[in-house]
Amino acid sequence: MERDRESVGLTPETQAILAELEERGWFLEGQDVARFCMAYAIRAKVPEGATGGTETRWAAGNFDKTGEIRALLAAMYPGCTTPVRMMEHLVNEGLRMVAGRLRSEAIGPAEIMD
């Protein structure tokens, strides 16, 4: 059985995207951006997968203190056996998706949630 990760990491590309989104001042810290983008990806039904070439950013325990996210992923992706890896994948995918939308549309945080 594949071993799960213990932390959530970002690729150089998503690292830059995170900085770009933080620059907007909508979020207090990077983890909030990451959680938002992960949720965006889940809502967009991003399929199960994994992102390679990441560099550690947040410990999984800190990123999901209450365990809600892991429970959620277990429910939404029943076949997934590596929830932290999945969490990381969703964060990276979500960052790309949100950045793509913000680059093409002049919208605010409320509009992107619609």
Partner 1 sequence: MLRLKRLEVEGFGPFAEPQVLEFRDAAGVTVVYGENMRGKTSLLNAIRYAFFGTVLGRGSRVRRLHTISNRDLASEGQFGFSVSLTFDYDGQEYELVRECKPTVKAPSNDEDYAQTVMLRRGTSTLGPQERERALQQIFPKEVSRFFLFDGELLQEYEELLINESEAGHRISEAIERILGVPILKRGRTHLTQLSEEADKHAAKEASKRQETQAIGTALQQATEQKEAHQKEIARLQTQLQELNAQRTEVEQYLQSVQKYASILHERDEAGARLEEAAKDERLCRGDLQKAMGEAWRSLLREPVRAARSAAQADAQKELDAFLLSLRAKAVADGHCGTCDQDVRGAILDRLKASLPEQAPATAPSGRVSAAMSRLADLNKFTEADNTGEIRLLWKRLRDLELEQVTLKDRISDLNAALADSDPETLRRSKASYAEVLEKISVVKRAIEDEGKKAEEKDQNIQRLKKKLDSSGTSDLRATQLRAKMLRDASEVFGAAVDRYKANLRARVEETSSKLFLSMTTEKQDFSGLTINENYGLTIRHRDGRAEEARSAGAEHVVALALMGALQNNAPLRGPIVMDSPFGRLDESHTANVIHTLPQMAEQVVLLVYEAEVGKAKMRDVLKDRLVREYQLERVSARRTNVREVK
- Helical axes 83-104 vs 68-76, angle rounded to 10°: 90
59: contact with partner 1 by CB under 8 A: no
114: contact with partner 1 by CB under 8 A: yes
The CA distance from 55 to 10, in Å, is 5
CB 2 within 8 A of CB 80: no
By CB under 8 A, the residues from 81 to 100 that bind partner 1 are none
Considering the complex, state which of residue 52 and residue 78 has its C-beta at the smaller distance from partner 1: 78
Mark 2-41 with x for binding to partner 1 (rule: CB under 8 A) and - for no binding.
Answer: -----------------------xxxx---x--xx-xxx-
76: contact with partner 1 by CB under 8 A: yes
Among 1, 2, 47, 78, binds partner 1 (CB under 8 A): 78
